Copies of this chain bind each other. A is one copy, B any other.
Amino acid sequence: MPKAEKILEKFNLKKTNFRLELVELFQSSSSSLTADEIRQKINSTNDKVTIYRALTAFEKKCLIHRVPDKSNLIRYALCQKECNQTHHKHNHAHFICNICAKTFCIEDIKLPQINNTSGFKISKTQLTLEGSCPSCN
């Protein structure tokens, strides 16, 4: 696992205390995070604007990606190591736990190949699963 500093460097982001802590938090999370969950878990800031702006910056640089959420919150997870500013591709499924409401990236379930159909041009495919996660069942 690459160190948080290296990652911020790689993506041309400043190494502030908060952003280092945020990268480390994402690295140590098995599931995805909302802005509010981040605020509760982090020490170096308590300002939601700071958190939202970091998330926007991280997403723009393809360090993190949005994942689905049951209650329509914005929820993020770390991208794969292969992702960078020019190459950004995810072909994994997402899993939402109906008990704890967490969302997980499931790398070993690949997306089905769907072809264009009756006038719809398909450029992206998302597969979202629901049920109960390992720690809830």
Q: How far is the CB of A100 from chain B (nearest CB, A)?
A: 12
Task: Kindly list chain B residues whose C-beta atoms are within 8 Å of the C-beta of A122.
Answer: 95, 129-131
Identify whether the interface residues of A are mostly helix, strand, loop, or mixed.
strand
Residues of B with C-beta under 8 A to A116 = 131
Whether, in the assembled complex, A117 has its beta carbon less than 8 Å from a beta carbon of chain B, the answer is: yes
* A124, closest chain B residue (CB): B130
Chain A contact residue count (CB 8 A cutoff) = 34
**In the complex with contacts A74-B72, A112-B127, A120-B134 CB distance below 8 A:** yes
Cα–Cα distance between A126 and B129 once the two chains are bound (Å): 6
Select the residue from A117, A120, A130 with max chain B CB neighbours within 10 A.
A120
Give me the interface of A with B, judged by CB distance under 8 Å.
68-69, 72-74, 93, 95, 98, 104, 106, 108-109, 112, 114, 116-134, 137
